Structure 1
Amino acid sequence: MANILVVDDELGIRDLLSEILNDEGHSVDLAENATQARSARMDATYDLVLLDIWMPDTDGVTLLKEWAATGLLTMPVIMMSGHATIDTAVEATRIGAFSFLEKPITLQKLLKAVEQGLARSQANAAPAALATHKPLAAMSDGAVVSLPLHSPVMPADMGPLAHQGFDLDRPLREARDGFEKAYFEFHLAREGGSMTRVAEKTGLERTHLYRKLRQLGVELGRNKRG
């Protein structure tokens, strides 16, 4: 599940995008103008932002410039507009926008752009995580020291890419589905099959939870409880 910020001055578009992205299992925050978007970005870190270009207070390209200049453009930003020119789209891309969606936005184009943006977000996060990871080794006197990332003490051949039992050498969607299936199966087992408690634990609506479980192929069993 990703944290996504949707910035658009049209209520209908905000609601539609929020509904679609929530159905995909993402957490969505909404902003109707640049002022609210600034506040949201200062309070939270997002994996992706969908940003409208034409807004009444400050346009999306100007807001994008602000984030780039202040070091807040740490996530992929997908620009949206129904009236933007090619020059505007090119300028936004030059500043740092990940991609551009023309309104009216089709469901297929939206989901594809979001998937590609989140893949970029995860790719950017991986080097940072590796850079901050310092393996520890115990010395004979009991002291603990940091080892360089390519220390000969670490195995040279890690085998198939895997983490906590998940095969990471797969397309992003397949890897994510595998994790989500295990996640929901864990909570179902811990809550004795109670859909009400699982919905509360995972923060999902019951209808969305049922849809997600069917999509992932999670077997509820005959003894599932409400």
Structure 2
Amino acid sequence: MATILVVDDEMGIRELLSEILSDEGHAVEVAENAQHARDYRLRQAPDLVLLDIWMPDTDGVSLLKEWGAQGLLTMPVIMMSGHATIDTAVEATKIGALNFLEKPIALQKLLKAVEQGLARGSAAAPVAGAVAVKAPVPANATTVAAAVALPVLAADAVATSTAATQAASISFDIPLRDARDAFERAYFEYHLARENGSMTRVAEKTGLERTHLYRKLKQLGVDLSKNKGE
């Protein structure tokens, strides 16, 4: 789990990004302006920052320059804007921004950018000059790996078995609409169980927008609470 700081003066954007990233298992902190972001960065360094360019007090590019000048730009930063020009995006990248996302932000682009940013941050984590020491590989490494993989395989097996049982129990003697609803219910419950209740991943796997997915699940009477991961 990573700690991601979302800096944006629009409450709707902060709430949406927080919901999506929390759904992915990340810890999300928010700042409504540059000053709040400064204060947070002085207390700790997040694993990733999503930084809006246009803000009322200090714009994101200026804040990026400040962090760079103060030696605080130690984490990947992804810039966001709905009005920035190509020159602005290029300038931010030259200063040290890892990526640039144009609003409205597409879900797939957001998740891909976050994944790449966290991967870049992890790769840069070792302190300069430190010597990497390879840990010895235990003789039973294969057994350990298999033991770790078993719960995941078991969860998939349970989800598949449950879905198959539900699908097989659908009666052919009911109206087509009822049969279709029963199948769709089993279909979505299968994906919810397999993705541990992550609405973002279920939306991705089923090809539906999150808002449409929520409405569909509510219409079908799917209980989301029992599928939500801890």
> Could you say which residue in structure 1 is the equivalent of 2:168?
none
User: What secondary structure, in the 3-state scheme, does the structure 1 residue paired with 2:117 have?
Assistant: helix
Relative to structure 1, the CA distance from residue 166 to residue 47 in structure 2 (aligned partners, 3 Å threshold; closer, same or farther) is farther
Is it true that 1:116 corresponds to 2:116 in the alignment? yes
What is the distance in 2 between the residues matched to 1:123 and 1:90? 23
Higher percent of residues as strand: 1
2: CA distance between counterparts of 1:213 and 1:44?
35
Q: 1:16 to 1:128 in 2, by over 3 A?
A: same
Post-superposition offset of 1:29: 0.2
- Give distance in 2, aligned partners of 1:123 and 1:214: 29
Secondary structure, aligned partner of 1:4: strand
- Name the structure 2 match of 1:131: 130
SS at match of 1:5: strand
Deviation at 1:128, TM superposition (A): 2.4
What residue in structure 2 maps to residue 16 of structure 1? Answer: 16
Superposition pairs for residues 139-150 of structure 1, below 5 Å?
A: none
Superposition misfits of 4+ residues, deviation over 6 angstroms: none
Aligned residue identity for 1:98 = L
CA drift of 1:213 comes to 6.7
Determine if the alignment matches structure 1 residue 70 to structure 2 residue 70.
yes
Shift of 1:43: 1.0
Helix, strand or coil: the match of 2:101? strand
**Change beyond 3 A, Cα 1:89–1:128:** same
Deviation at 1:108, TM superposition (A): 0.7
CA distance in 1: counterparts of 2:193 and 2:35, whole angstroms: 38
Structure 1 pair 213/49, CA: closer, same or farther in 2 (3 Å)?
farther
TM-superposed deviation, 1:57? 0.1
Equivalent positions of 1:13-162 (< 5 A) are: 13-125=13-125, 127-128=126-127, 131=130
Unaligned runs of 5+ in 2: 153-190, 198-230
CA separation of 1:88 and 1:166: change in aligned 2, threshold 3 A: farther
Q: How far, CA to CA, are the matches of 2:48 and 2:110 in structure 1?
A: 13
- Name the CA distance, whole Å, in 2 between partners of 1:159 and 1:116: 30
Provide the rounded CA distance (Å) in 1 between the counterparts of 2:31 and 2:127.
28
Name the SS for the 1:30 alignment partner.
Answer: strand
- 131 and 59 in structure 1: CA distance in 2 versus 1, 3 angstrom threshold: same
CA–CA separation in structure 2 for the residues paired with 1:90 and 1:20 = 27
Superposed, which structure 2 residues align to 1:158-169 within 5 Å?
A: 165=144
Q: Secondary structure at the match of 1:74?
A: coil
Per the alignment, in what secondary structure is the counterpart of residue 128 of structure 1? coil
Say how many residue pairs are matched: 158
Q: Does 1:215 align with 2:214?
A: no
Q: TM-score, normalised by structure 2?
A: 0.60
Residue in 2 that maps onto 1:2: 2
How has the CA–CA distance of structure 1 residues 159 and 42 changed in structure 2, closer, same or farther, with 3 Å as cutoff? same
C-alpha RMSD of the superposition: 3.5
- Decide which structure has greater helix share: 2
CA distance in 2, matches of 1:91, 1:30: 24
CA distance in 2, matches of 1:5, 1:11: 14
Larger RCO (CA within 8 A; separation ≥ 6):
2
CA deviation map 1:118-163 (0-9, x unaligned): 11011111x3288166xxxxxxxxxxxxxxx59xxx97xx699x7x
Q: CA deviation at 1:214?
A: 3.8
User: For residue 39 of structure 2, what is the amino acid of its counterpart?
Assistant: S
SS in 1 for 2:121: helix
